Structure 1
Amino acid sequence: MTTVTTKVLSAAQQEELLSTLKARFEKNMQRHAGIAWTDVLARLEANPAKLWSLHEMERTGGEPDVVGHDQQTGEYILYDCAAESPKGRRSVCYDREGLESRKEHRPENNAVDMAAEMGIALLTEEEYRELQKLGRFDQKTSSWIRTPADIRQLGGALFADFRYGNVFVYHNGAQSYYAARAFRGSLRV
């Protein structure tokens, strides 16, 4: 597997990405009250490998945005904030084991490997619930979320969505996949 640290964007790609991120940041200030774009920009520019990961989040339809700041580490936290699950990551099983257990009609990829290749982490249930406090996401789609080991060992995997004014967390076999299910990721910079 190629490591994310070897991935670098061209100057033009960086400029375009930073412009997109700044515009989204300014349009959605409720997601990051008290955080200044100049501070986020300084961290982004100092971490080109993270820019590559953000580019991948953007390229696959995630619409990443700043959702928090870790006071202890100084890192800014970004989540996929697309209204619906990212289009470029749909129709995937939960993980490699789930994918390989399918006898037929295998999708091309799985959420866990895709996230690792992108250099991001799947949202946890707690992070997914925090995201839903910032807006309404996955009202027509659903997203795989990080599944605890005990559930995964039994063959299951978790996904979540927002319906009827509430966040719902469900389970499926890790080998399942649907056209309206992708995964949402997080990145710390």
Structure 2
Amino acid sequence: MASFQTFVFLTISFVLIASAFLSFKMRKKLKHSYSMMIPMSLGTNIGLTIGILFGAAFSGNLFQSTLISVVIGMTGGIVSAIGFGIMGWLEGFMAGIMGAMMGAMLGAMITAAQAETMVNIFLTLTVSSLLLYLIVPHIPDNDSTIRSKKWFLKPIFTLLLVAFYLLYGAQTSNKPFMPDSKSKTTVEMQHPSSQK
């Protein structure tokens, strides 16, 4: 397994463990709709990330990549909602399936370098989805005004922290995580005279 894939799996494992812990800790503080929204966003993002990763790794075998991605996506959706009860489980389960199917299709259609970029984007969204546990309980029911300008510093600092972590992960491999056979074929087809 390539170091980039290991980085992705370790990051998603961390997100799942943190999400399971936070779902038990925050279940009494969250409204019912929020306890369904958070597993839906986590399940979709985990499914998309894993789907793109396996779609590119098993390029040419969409059935196998979709099947593996769906199993991991629905498991991730359920684990992220483990403390919220049956409605949260169902929401995470279905969102994980949907995200994994879309991710596997996208991963099979793009090159390996593009897939690595997309995995980094969706991994950022997956890690950032954990912040919903900290933000959602503080949303007032009727008031939508921002009380201080310091509030803007928190998301900017958090975004920079997540971006630096993911840039470090992207540097674990200077080359794409699998041979880029699609782009090689495209170059050969465009320039047949270079094969002489």
TM-score when normalising by structure 2: 0.24
Higher strand share: 1
For the pair shown, the structure with the greater C-alpha radius of gyration is 2
Higher helix share: 2
Higher RCO (Cα < 8 Å, 6 or more apart): 2
